[in-house]
């Protein structure tokens, strides 16, 4: 008769410990701030031209500042005008001059980074250059 309350107390204790560790892992991940700046290498396949782009601070949900090196016009004419990085929930990324009208659109690539899908040519990759 005394074993039933003891087993219930042990089960409750184990359940509480499991909830504590599972919950703290989720809240820790959710509370970690996203990096405020990331440097990427933008590469045009075919002629292998490349340049640096930097994703800056997030200014609203999914919209961050973007710094594009002047020599990026060799990779894709007009991309040097981009000032904003917009990342959607599906993982797609767009660069724009005004925050909404895309200059170039990327989807998540196989492996690490992104590949452009609009414009169709040249095919561009965007890969982290490390910080």
Residues 6 or more apart from 72 whose CB is under 8 A from it? Answer: 42, 51, 52, 53, 79, 80
Q: CA nearest 57: which of 41, 42, 79, 35?
A: 35
Residue 124 near residue 43, CB atoms below 8 Å? yes
d(CA 79, CA 72): 7
pLDDT digits (tens, 9 = 90+) for 9-19: 454 444 443 43
Look-up of token digits 């409750």 = 12
Q: CA nearest 51: which of 125, 131, 130?
A: 125
pLDDT digits (tens, 9 = 90+) for 50-59: 999 999 999 9
* Peptide linkage before 119 cis (omega within 30 of 0): yes
Question: pLDDT band at residue 28, thresholds of 50, 70 and 90?
Answer: very low
Long-range Cβ contact pairs of 53-57 (< 8 A, separation 24 or more): 53/82, 53/95, 53/126, 55/85, 56/85
Whether pTM > 0.75 for this model: the answer is no
User: What would the two tokens of residue 129 be?
Assistant: 């250059």
Residue ranges per structural domain of the chain: 1-32, 38-128
pLDDT digits (tens, 9 = 90+) for 92-107: 999 999 999 999 999 9
Residue 105 near residue 91, CB atoms below 8 Å? no
Q: CA nearest 47: which of 124, 112, 109?
A: 124
């Amino acid at each position: 008769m005394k074993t039933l309350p003891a087993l219930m107390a042990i089960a409750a204790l184990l359940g509480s410990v499991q909830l504590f560790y599972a919950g703290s892992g989720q809240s820790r991940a959710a509370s970690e701030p996203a990096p405020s700046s990331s440097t990427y290498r933008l590469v045009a396949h075919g002629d292998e031209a490349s340049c640096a782009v930097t994703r800056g601070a997030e200014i609203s949900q999914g919209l961050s500042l973007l710094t594009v090196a002047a020599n990026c016009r060799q990779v894709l004419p007009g991309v040097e005008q981009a000032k904003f990085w917009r990342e959607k929930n599906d993982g797609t990324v767009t660069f724009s001059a005004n925050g909404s009208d895309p200059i170039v659109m990327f989807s998540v690539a196989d492996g690490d980074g992104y590949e452009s899908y609009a414009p169709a040519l040249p095919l561009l990759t965007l890969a982290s250059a490390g910080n």
